[in-house]
Structure 1
């Protein structure tokens, strides 16, 4: 027997508690002005009968709303809408269609998307693909451990036991990095930010791939770096263009993914890696290798950090993509003489990293949960990759390269359609796509979209994609007709 009856307005399939659903129902009425400031809120008895939930559920929901300031309690009179309601936010009623399609467009749309929206353009796995029960067990185990540091700051470099584990894991990819050359961070972005703070001055030139992970651009702009880009091919950066950029612009730093490239899914070829490192040495170029997708691989692809031995390459990683975005845990592996100044920067800017997150990740690595999760996940992703490519090809898109592993497919639209227009049409239909120019510093990926295969398993996504393409195809014809005298 459940609290909500067969005709209850509450959606029992939604991943929220009944208390939260009651709160949402009342918030919507307040936001929509059907309950104005000062108006009496439906009584607990009325709300119980209307929503088909228990009295205790409504009481707890109302108490939480009082704590938020959305409603007020008056002894003997009931509950009332607060006198100063928050301003009506139209942006909360639907997707932000008018936001400029810039490097942060996709981040904002994906994170702000409602729970009913599909997100084939986002950069993470669905929660159902992650080891949530294993995470809960690890959290409980850490909480029960009398020696677990639940109330203390982490040591400056981070939990020693986890750094030792990371040293072993890096060795599996050919990267020789002892624990003393590894620093824990609060995720991959924190790691990249620290490295940029350490290596860059405002005005320095930084080289990126075209296309590349969009947040590289956003973060580098925050550091006031000058950005130049080089075309990326299915085997790595175009070496002729790479050498020309080194000669003409003398960049200080090159930021890239090499094992599984974002957004293309390509893998760096060994010959390209060797030539790239030779050019880097000749032109005094430092390299940051963002390797956060490493654990999606069945077989390790070439790593610049492995060939280079961390002489001029810094390797960064994270568990956000494979384990949990909520448990922020990343790392930096760098040459020995850079470790102390990097730790000083870490202390100056964040004072440390999450000791609790590091302890949870370490436990998941030790008890085999993470290994078993990855084995199942890789198989699942391989199936999803094949099915996504098949469906996209049927829809008329051309896949740029077939990735060997990972979550991304880079594909071009037919008939030279504008991916930004297609993405805006899809967003109006509650589907978040990833237009190519979000990833391109030169804006040369107008016809491309990035697809996350783990988020492409719903027929509706392909139906909306097709409708969005049809609308974008008809738009020029309508504009031409309007211009006719």
Structure 2
């Protein structure tokens, strides 16, 4: 009875679905026929299911409200994507957060933000009170178009739609392009919220192993042939969580596989401004025909005044804009005005230069301290804030995270990022949040506490 309730709550059994016969259910659950009969009768009495004589039992309960935590396999909370997000966001100031996905407040351009707020406040009343135009603030779209052109991505301002965030941008694209049951490819590992968002859209998610040079192309080709996916969602430049960057060879070969298969690629490029040297963009190879670019300024400007965008072909942008109006009535104008004021300021480039240098130093220091504990990086990233590192002796990252959490340290265990649950002994470290010695002292204690006991000689 509990199993059936859980399947109804997870929307695996929807109204009108036929239940297994009494004998089939008894065999599959390893219980007696009489136990199943009793359970079915109780559920029928409660109105959850109903009997059709000569046909069987069917679900009669209404469609369950969407509960993301009940979709997919049951995971330990330390590796559940939604719990991971809540854990990082709810951690108090006293907590150390090497597992979170953002820069410390003191690394952000606070003084410039205050100046921008004052400048916008002195501007027109419309900037403070009115809705934005359907595609979003035109001057900011023009600015973004020029920036994309610097990365060899041809985009006119009318090919850009402003959104409330990068996450909202992906949500709008999913609303536009996929139906429940459509197959979507993601990297394994990937940003854990990709999985949660795709679950909300009831997509069939398929993972492709990530290598230091990009996705495993052999598995990618097999997935195209066998699964016929609708979308591929990825970070192509600065990959989250691995810190890897796709190589030109891999990018060329991937596009050669994707185009004849009619695959649409959604390229999340929210870490673009962390790069010191440009790396391949799939949108540049494709010219925004079947690749959609997503961007955001929350990682380098402000997560409190969030502003994202979608760059795509004009006919798609028009249709996605309609969905944006239906669901959000456009993008937040005030956040766009603040972002534009900051981006036009020459101080933003100086902020980025200082930020890149600071991150480079933090990456080197973090890797050195991790290696002293026997924790080895997957790659040595050339940009960004993340180091994806493997624990020694196949230690369980969830157990390590649990032990460190008890000492006030929030970590990010590998399987939170892995659809196939193949990253059991990995952790993701945010180097900008990893400079406190207490982190490494706690890691050392956790590794010792989780180590298997030594066997006595003889």
Q: Same fold (TM over 0.5)?
A: yes
Write out the 4+ residue segments of structure 1 that deviate beyond 2 Å after TM superposition: 98-101
Preserved CA contact (<8 Å) 1:142 1:148: no
Distance across 2 between alignment mates of 1:312 and 1:370: 32
Provide the C-alpha distance between the structure 2 equivalents of 1:258 and 1:101, rounded to a whole number of angstroms: 24
Q: 158, 167, 175: which is aligned to 2:145?
A: 167
Tell me the CA shift for residue 299 of structure 1: 1.3
Match of 1:461 in 2: 439
Q: Report if the CA contact (8 A) 2:78-2:401 is conserved.
A: no
Partners of 1:174 and 1:157 lie apart in 2 by 22
2:158 to 170, 177, 180: 180
Q: Could you say which residue in structure 2 is the equivalent of 1:114?
A: 92
SS of 1:467's partner is helix
Residues 395-443 of structure 1 deviation map (CA, whole Å, 9 limit, x = unaligned): 1111110111000001000011000110011111110000000000000
Match of 2:228 in 1: 250
Structure 2 residue corresponding to 1:337, chosen from 309, 315, 338: 315
The 8 Å contact of residues 265 and 405 in structure 1, kept in 2 or not, is answered as yes
Instruction: Decide which of 246, 253, 260 is 1:275's aligned counterpart.
Output: 253
Offset from partner CA, 1:123-171 (integer Å, 9 cap, x none): 0000000001110110011101136521100001000000000001111
- Superposed CA deviations along residues 255-308 of structure 1, whole A, max 9, x for unmatched, are 000100000000000111011011111211110000000000011110000010
The aligned runs of 1:261-340 (5 Å cut-off) are: 261-340=239-318
Kindly indicate whether the alpha-carbon contact (under 8 Å) linking 1:419 and 1:447 is maintained by their aligned counterparts in 2. Answer: yes
Separation in structure 2 between the aligned mates of residue 150 and residue 210 of structure 1, nearest angstrom: 42
Change (3 A) 1:99 1:440: closer
Secondary structure at the residue paired with 2:127? coil
The answer for the alignment partner of 1:151 in structure 2 is 129
Deviation at 1:99, TM superposition (A): 3.4
Distance across 1 between alignment mates of 2:444 and 2:344:
46
Residue correspondence of structure 1 range 328-367 to structure 2 within 5 A: 328-367=306-345
Partner of 2:429: 451
1:20-39 equivalences under 5 Å are none
Report the equivalent of 1:47.
none
Give distance in 2, aligned partners of 1:114 and 1:360. 27
From 131, 134, 137, the equivalent of 2:109 is 131
Residues 1:103 and 2:81 aligned together: yes
1:431 equivalent among 397, 403, 409 = 409
Name structure 1 gaps, 5 residues minimum: 1-97, 481-485
TM-score under structure 1 normalisation? 0.77
Rounded Cα–Cα distance in structure 1 between residues aligned with 2:293 and 2:402 = 36
Could you tell me how far apart the structure 2 residues matched to 1:277 and 1:165 are? 28
Distance in structure 1 (CA, Å) of the matches to 2:449 and 2:295: 40
Distance in 1, matches of 2:343 and 2:98, equals: 29
Equivalent-residue separation in structure 2 for 1:243 and 1:434 (angstroms): 30
Q: Say if 2:78 and 2:398, in contact at 8 Å, map to a contact too.
A: no
Q: Distance in 1 between matches of 2:91 and 2:205?
A: 30
Structure 1 residue aligned with 2:212: 234
Q: Give SS of 2:451's match.
A: helix
Unaligned runs of 5+ in 2: 1-75
Deviation of 1:472 after TM superposition, in Å, equals 1.7
**CA positional deviation for 1:368:** 1.5
Question: What do the CA deviations read for 1:204-241 (whole angstroms, capped 9, x no partner)?
Answer: 00000000000000000000000001111000001111
Is contact 2:78–2:416 with CA below 8 Å preserved after alignment?
Answer: no
Secondary structure, in 3 states, of the residue corresponding to 2:266?
strand
* 1:415 aligned residue: 393
The answer to whether the 8 Å contact 1:320/1:327 transfers is yes
Is 1:382 the counterpart of 2:360 in the alignment?
yes
Distance in 1, Cα, partners of 2:438 & 2:151 = 39
Q: What is the aligned residue count?
A: 381
